[in-house]
Chains A and B, each alone.
Chain A
Amino acid sequence: MSTQPLADFLAHSVELESEARERYLELAESMAAHHNDAVSEFFLRMAEESRLHLEEVGGIAKDHDLPELKAWEFQWPDEESPETTSYEAVHYRMSLREAMLLALDNERAAEKFYASFARSSSDENTRKLAAQFAAEEASHAAQLVKKLGALPADSGQHLEEDDDPHMPE
């Protein structure tokens, strides 16, 4: 990522936000199919937040000629884009608190990703924009921390179910 730092950075930002949104939507739908409504609703709200952020990033990106990258050509610090919830981290019986902690990890990973560009991009405009995005992710994280603090005590309980996923006796 060096010949056109800003366009590359924006391509990654658009992908990051749209993947975060897609995954939250996908998880919200499958949580609803498995009757974990509290977590489903929470993931839907997170998807909406990602959509708003995507709109903002997309609005800036539309004035630039972004490179068309294939999924495997993006350069992420980890296997997936930083704000994407890992599959193996979720469970259909997970509590709202656990879901919120995962989302908090996502926000922090996105903040770290943007902050690294804010620190080390060779291009001044990229550094400025990345610092702005990092600050936004930090404020999302702070909001989540506040919401986590306000959760009722039983929000850490796993979902009860009548039909355990075990073999019949």
Chain B
Amino acid sequence: MNEPIKLKAKDYKSSVKPIWCPGCGHFSVLNALTKAFAGLGIDKDDTVLVSGIGCSSRLPAYVDSYGFHGVHGRGLAIAQGLKVARPDLTVIAMGGDGDGFSIGGNHFLHACRRNVNMTYIAMDNEVYGMTKGQASPTTPADWDHSKLTPHGPGVRPFKPAALALASGAPWIARGYSGNPNQMARLIAAAIEHPGFSFVHVLSQCITFCPEQTDWKAVVHEREEEALVDADEAAQLFLHEDGFQTGVLYNAQRATWPPSVPEPQSTDITRGFSV
């Protein structure tokens, strides 16, 4: 038998060219994802990327796999349905902080709770990039760049990792667009995790939040092993600075749906007997 041809990261890119702003962190996620695919030798024909709406949600179009550009905030619902119907596929949902934590916030909580065997990548630039720079649930309270919130949103931002943990996500990592090689490793590990794996990516929007270019100086890699204890992880996620990267939490939990034996015809007949 012939050896399968090993694909390089760029072989996983489609011929559609991104229209993201030069410098957008989402480019780095595209590169990290395709590097992870190359590292794992992922089969394009068995892989589906599902997204919502936003600059970040355009990503599936740029990858040469199956893709579904869904409705705003609904990528996770579509992706879970797909994975349950076709457990043989590698399913990766993705989108932005607006898509995943505002309009899609409820789906995020329940996806963490449900624990379907798939990956979710949230590209967090703390802003609605596509609609020209409004505050999102992760925007700092005093961010005053938008005319809709001239004094800043004035409410404390979500902590996506803490939310994911509280909602039951068994595997949580954080990456940074300034480090696509590390992010590739995290995404590869997320894909290999047997359950719902959440990759929170700090993905700068240099157009509406130019101050995010400073992230490079504050992002730091977590040296320690991923936590397996939920109480310890809760302490970490509630008190951390939000800039540490790596696999932060790694627990095992039964996935959904549970495997039940196929009903036999005799079972069905028995169900109707009086």
Contacts and interface: CB of A to CB of B under 8 A. Distances in A.
A and B are interacting partners = yes
Interface residues of B, number: 43
Contacts of A33: 17, 19
Interface stretch (B113-121, B181-189, B233-241): B181-189
A68 B6 contact: yes
Interface string A66-105: 0010111010100110000011111110100000000000
Interface string B109-134: 00000000000000000000000111
Contacts of B208: 165
A41 interface: no
Interface in B122-154: 132-134, 146-148
Contacts, number: 105
A contact residues, range: 20 to 34
Contact of B27 (A71, A87, A89): A87
Given A70-B39, A71-B35, A167-B134, A79 B22 contact: no
Interface in A31-86: 31, 33-34, 36, 68, 70-72, 74, 76, 79-80, 86
B10 interface: yes
A30 B19 CA distance: 6
A162 interface: no
B55 to A, nearest CB: 12
A68 to B, nearest CB: 7
Interface stretch (B81-89, B90-98, B172-180, B264-272): B172-180
Contacts of A146: none
A70 B204 CA distance: 25
B21 to A, nearest CB: 5
A36 B9 CA distance: 27
A136 interface: no
A55 B1 CA distance: 31
Contacts of A90: 22-23, 206
Contacts of A22: 10
A88 B20 contact: no
A136 to B, nearest CB: 24
Contacts of A26: 18, 27
Contact of B17 (A29, A68, A94): A29
Q: Is the interface of A mostly helix, strand, loop or mixed?
A: loop
A30 B215 CA distance: 22
A27 interface: yes
A13 to B, nearest CB: 16
Contact of A30 (B18, B39, B180): B18
B25 interface: yes
A34 B9 CA distance: 25
B204 A87 contact: yes
Contact of A166 (B23, B27, B38, B132): B132
B132 A86 contact: no
29 contacts: A29-B17, A29-B18, A30-B17, A30-B18, A30-B22, A30-B24, A68-B6, A71-B35, A71-B36, A71-B38, A71-B180, A71-B181, A71-B185, A72-B185, A72-B188, A79-B179, A79-B180, A80-B181, A86-B178, A87-B23, A87-B177, A87-B178, A87-B206, A92-B21, A92-B23, A166-B147, A167-B146, A167-B147, A169-B147
5 pairs of A and B residues whose beta carbons are closest in the complex: A71-B35, A72-B185, A70-B39, A88-B213, A79-B179
